[in-house]
Structure 1
Amino acid sequence: MAFFLRVAFFLVAFFLRVAFFLVAFFLRVAFFLVAFFLVAFFLRVAFFLADFFFAMALFPCLITTEPAAHLIETVSSSQQLFCDPTQIFYRLIVPCS
């Protein structure tokens, strides 16, 4: 009888250790996955904002509430040159007015 109790206690202890190990392992994996995806998400947001503000700093004439057709009719050719992406270095020197 004592032998069977020892075997039963051993089996219970063994399966509890395995269960706790698996729970701890999956919690660790879940924590690192959540942390990884949170960091990746915030990096994507940061890079998007950096690209957005960099583009707006280079081409402020793109910020408008007017319809595009009206903008094309009213902007002079010199201003269009400054807002042309091919003239990016010239744009850094002479801002859109």
Structure 2
Amino acid sequence: MAIIFQEKKKQKYLIFILIGIVFVILLTLWLGFSRRPSVTPTEAPLAEVSKTWQKIEINFEILKNPLFQALKDFEKIPAFEGEAGRENPFISY
């Protein structure tokens, strides 16, 4: 009989814990989705960005610099020739 009472007591605590967890989740969802955004979007940053874009100037003189001219391209790596791997790589040897 003592075991049955302990199981019921344990179930009682688990029910309260479950109700508490559900309450916390619902409260978090309610507060998280019901709030309005505190910052309103403005057009000022977009205007500043467009002004910055108008001021951008590309200096093509760097292409004539001897250090830039001394740079070399990477070698081309040939494609792999031959059989690559096993038919089924997941089976053991």
Please classify the TM superposition score into its range, dividing by the shorter chain length. 0.3 to 0.5
Rg larger in 1 or in 2? 2
TM-score (norm 1): 0.41
Whose RCO is larger (CA < 8 A, sep 6+)? 1
Higher helix residue share: 1
